[in-house]
Amino acid sequence: MSDSVATSRAPARTPTRTEAFEKRLKKRYASERRFRWMGLGAIIFSIVVLLFLLGNMSINGFAGFQRAELQVPIDFREAGLSGDPAVLSQPGAVQSLEAQGLPQVVEFYAGEALGEEAAEQLDPQAWREVADAVTADPAILRGETTFWLPASAGLASGLAGEGAQEMRLLATRLTADGVLASRLDLGFLARSDATNPQQVGIWGALKGSILTMIVTLLLAFPIGVLAALYLEEYAPKNRWTDIIEVSINNLAAVPSIIFGLLGLAVFLWIFPNMRSAPLIGGMTLALMTMPVIVISGRNAIKAVPPSIRDGALAIGASPVQVAFHHVLPLALPGILTGTIIGMARALGETAPLLLIGMRAFVATPPDGFTSPATVLPVQIFLWSDEIDRGFVERTSAAIIVLLLFLLVMNGLAIYLRNKFEKTW
């Protein structure tokens, strides 16, 4: 441009839009467009990865909610099982049915209906599902009922078109007969961990997660809110409160695995018998969640206008009354939003729980805060280690359950934020 300025002293106006200028302008606009496309491309890439991840999980997970089942009609009238309601309502009902020969009964009818070769491919634990059905409704002992029972892992992979050649042939034949099918398996939501992908379920891990979250919430929420209240409303500005503030901010940035090391070294040292208990897991996660709640709580409390405090103080409320009667209720939606987000993070956390021993094989759902348990993310991690083909789908199904939980929690946080959002 400097040339054009220099020549503009000449009598006539030289055109500013010289060829070189036009060329340069074109180049600049092209680079502008490129830059813009790069930005859009970055976003599209991220969204595509997200969609691919979710799509991949959903497709696999959909298969995880299904399992290969064999159709077995059982005529209980001939089986000679005693259907004493008093026994069947007792906790030992399944054992009593086993003692009466229910496994053999199931085996016999499976052989009748499917033939020798296919009956062998019935899952060895399949009779338990018959037993559960009988204890749920003893009346079926008086008639004939058709059950869909889980097939062996080998036949299941045969049905999926993998595995041994003979299994694939058998699966094709049985499917053609209409006695083998891949059916929706809602029991997946009700069972616990097992060694066979056909038998596993998510309920044990889900219950462990819920118990752990309860402990986390009960510890982190009150401590976090009270600490936020103190720091925002009362704390004098001195070295001590500076240290508190710095340590809270640091804790929010400490890698989660360090909290696992803390739980291992401190909590398991105090409670050596509680390895893999939801209580210890919840305590560890609470320390991790607390700083998140404090930080969001402070922001929510800060957002309450001072006029409300002044008004309350002016009509004679004490500072504590101002905080608990006026500031806290107004800040609560914001605090809750932060709490839910912190809890969602804790729900998805795996590493600290691995270190404190929540990676054990737990085949029964935990029945309390101190019994051994596993949680959803750890269950996903454990299943992902299984090479068995069927576990891939099951893992994806568990991931879907976990993601749905997170979605509900985040949805709740967004709803709270929108519903109670105030502008003063």
Strand order in the sheet with 66-75: 144-150, 66-75, 180-184
261 binding other proteins? (CB under 8 A): yes
Measured from the CB atom, is 79 or 252 closer to other proteins? 252
Residues 10 to 29: which contact other proteins by CB under 8 A? 28-29
418 binding other proteins? (CB under 8 A): no
Backbone angles phi, psi at 140, to 5 degrees: -70, -15
Measured from the CB atom, is 57 or 131 closer to other proteins? 57
Q: How far is the CB of 234 from other proteins (least distance, A)?
A: 7
Which has the closest alpha carbon to 200: 400, 55, 406, 393?
393
Measured from the CB atom, is 126 or 227 closer to other proteins? 227
- Contacts of 2-7 spanning 24+ positions with Cβ under 8 A: none
291 binding other proteins? (CB under 8 A): yes
**Region from 74-82, 192-200, 216-224, 302-310 binding other proteins, contact rule CB under 8 A:** 216-224
Measured from the CB atom, is 146 or 273 closer to other proteins? 273
Q: How far is the CB of 357 from other proteins (least distance, A)?
A: 8
408 binding other proteins? (CB under 8 A): no
Which has the closest alpha carbon to 278: 363, 212, 357, 202?
212
Per CB under 8 A, the list member of 16, 35, 177, 329 interacting with other proteins is: 35
384 binding other proteins? (CB under 8 A): yes
231 binding other proteins? (CB under 8 A): yes
190 binding other proteins? (CB under 8 A): no
Burial (CB < 10 A; 0-12, 13-18, 19+), residue 76, is: buried
223 binding other proteins? (CB under 8 A): yes
**Region from 107-115, 127-135, 151-159, 285-293 binding other proteins, contact rule CB under 8 A:** 285-293
387 binding other proteins? (CB under 8 A): no
Residues 343 to 382: which contact other proteins by CB under 8 A? 344-345, 347-351, 354-355, 359, 368-371, 377-378, 380-381
Per the DSSP assignment, residues forming a β-bridge with 67 are 183
Per the DSSP assignment, residues forming a β-bridge with 66 are 184
Site size for other proteins, by CB under 8 A? 88
Per CB under 8 A, the list member of 7, 14, 56, 90 interacting with other proteins is: 56
160 binding other proteins? (CB under 8 A): no
Q: How far apart are CA 280 and CA 360, in angstroms?
A: 14
**Region from 102-110, 151-159, 167-175, 397-405 binding other proteins, contact rule CB under 8 A:** 397-405
Per CB under 8 A, the list member of 256, 313, 326, 330 interacting with other proteins is: 256
Contact 337, 416 (CB under 8 A): yes
Q: How far apart are CA 99 and CA 78, in angstroms?
A: 17
**Region from 67-75, 118-126, 158-166, 257-265 binding other proteins, contact rule CB under 8 A:** 257-265
Contact 370, 272 (CB under 8 A): no
Residues 98 to 137: which contact other proteins by CB under 8 A? none
Cα angle 112, 115, 118 (rounded to 5 degrees) comes to: 125
**Region from 116-124, 138-146, 245-253, 299-307 binding other proteins, contact rule CB under 8 A:** 245-253
Q: Are strands 144-150 and 180-184 parallel, antiparallel or unpaired?
A: unpaired
| Whole-Å CA distances, 270 to 88, 101, 266, 267, 422 | 42, 47, 6, 5, 45
Per CB under 8 A, the list member of 20, 189, 226, 303 interacting with other proteins is: 226
Q: Rg of the chain over CA atoms, in angstroms? A: 32
Q: How far is the CB of 401 from other proteins (least distance, A)?
A: 11
402 binding other proteins? (CB under 8 A): yes
Per CB under 8 A, the list member of 244, 313, 330, 332 interacting with other proteins is: 244
Q: How far apart are CA 15 and CA 13, in angstroms?
A: 6
Cα 19–chain centre separation: 62
Measured from the CB atom, is 20 or 40 closer to other proteins? 40
Residues 312 to 341: which contact other proteins by CB under 8 A? 318-320, 324
Q: How far is the CB of 400 from other proteins (least distance, A)?
A: 10
> Could you tell me how many residues make up the chain?
424
Measured from the CB atom, is 243 or 303 closer to other proteins? 243
